[in-house]
Amino acid sequence: MIYVQFIGAGPGDPELITVKGQKAIDNADVIIYAGSLVPHAVIATRKADTEVYNSASMDLTEIIDVITNAVANKKTVARVHTGDPSIYGSIREQIEELDKLNIQYEVIPGVSSFVASAAALKSEFTVPGISQTVICTRMEGRTPVPELESIELLASHKTSMCIFLTVHMIDKLVDKLLTHYSPDTPVAVVQRASWPDQKIVKGTLTNIAQLVTNNNINKTAMILVGNFLGSYYENSLLYASNFTHEYRNAKE
């Protein structure tokens, strides 16, 4: 039997969790959630006797101990992460420990902040003639980044970029992006995407650092870079009247 479920809670709006994820939380005997990033409303519908732990103050050993004790007593565990657990979710080390203990688990995906940010901007990353690739990355800080994944090398593609966990280093980031992107490249910064206090700042590589400072944005923000944020677009072929595909013939 699967006793442990890793759940993506989404970017902040409690309604952006999946139905499966919400059901898992509602039925769990034990909940371990990232309380610094996951709103309490996500777990508010839990059972009255559910045990709740905030992982913000826990280390890996403490988390695994709670899970192990719960499973030993045949209790189900909802391990709730912000966004999607596969992106900067640090689930790998937890999963490896559960594998050692032969504890069964599953992963329920969630809505990541990078797509929530695009939704807030009403933008599409993959625009014909502009970009057909999305790069999700972060700049090196306390966590190292492989040399071949440096911002400078990734920026050489000049495609749509989503940069996590870097807004506090926006000045350094801009310098690295300018090695390949032009100064007038559009940039948007979305703080706490989908939360009630969501904040959006738009600019270019020339002025975005100052705008971020002026708006007091220093954490929990997504940086989006690329011409997909601009005003020039080509329409896709998907809905073009002169394009034939499996379900529709072109009109003459």
**Is the pLDDT confidence value at 236 over 60?**
no
Q: How far apart are CA 165 and CA 92, in angstroms?
A: 19
Q: Please, which pLDDT band fits residue 158 given cuts at 50, 70 and 90?
A: very high
Closest CA relative to residue 221, chosen from 187, 193, 185? 193
The percent of residues in the chain predicted with pLDDT above 70, rounded, is 91
Residues 229-242, mean pLDDT to the nearest whole number? 63
Q: What would the DSSP string read from start to end of 133-158? A: -EEEEE--SSS---GGG-HHHHHTT-
The pLDDT, as a whole number, for residue 230 is 86
- Round to whole Å and give the CA distance between 194 and 82: 12
Delimit the CATH 3.30.950.10 region(s) of the chain.
113-229
| Dihedral sign, Cα of residue 203, residue 216, residue 219, residue 142 | positive
Per-residue pLDDT tens digits for 74-123: 999 999 999 999 999 999 999 999 999 999 999 999 999 999 999 999 99
Fold topology of 113-229: 3.30.950
Answer for the pair 224, 118: CB distance below 8 angstroms, yes or no: yes
pTM: 0.90
Predicted local confidence at residue 249, as pLDDT: 64
Task: State yes or no: pLDDT of 210 exceeds 80.
Answer: yes
- Give the residue among 24, 131, 150, 149 at the shortest CA–CA distance from 78: 24
- Homologous superfamily assigned to 4-108: Tetrapyrrole methylase, N-terminal domain (3.40.1010.10)
pLDDT bucket at 143, cuts 50 / 70 / 90:
confident
pLDDT computed for residue 237 by the predictor: 53
What pLDDT score does 123 carry? 95
Question: Which residues of the chain are in CATH 3.40.1010.10 domains?
Answer: 4-108
| 166-208 pLDDT per residue, tens | 999 999 999 999 999 999 999 999 999 999 999 999 999 999 9
Burial of 246 (C-beta count, 10 Å sphere; 0-12/13-18/19+): exposed
Which two tokens mark 160?
């749509």
* Bridge partners, residue 162, by sequence: 136, 224
Cα separation values, 104 from 76, 85, 89, 110, 118, Å: 11, 17, 19, 20, 35
For residues 5 and 209, give the distance between their C-alpha atoms in angstroms, rounded to a whole number. 39
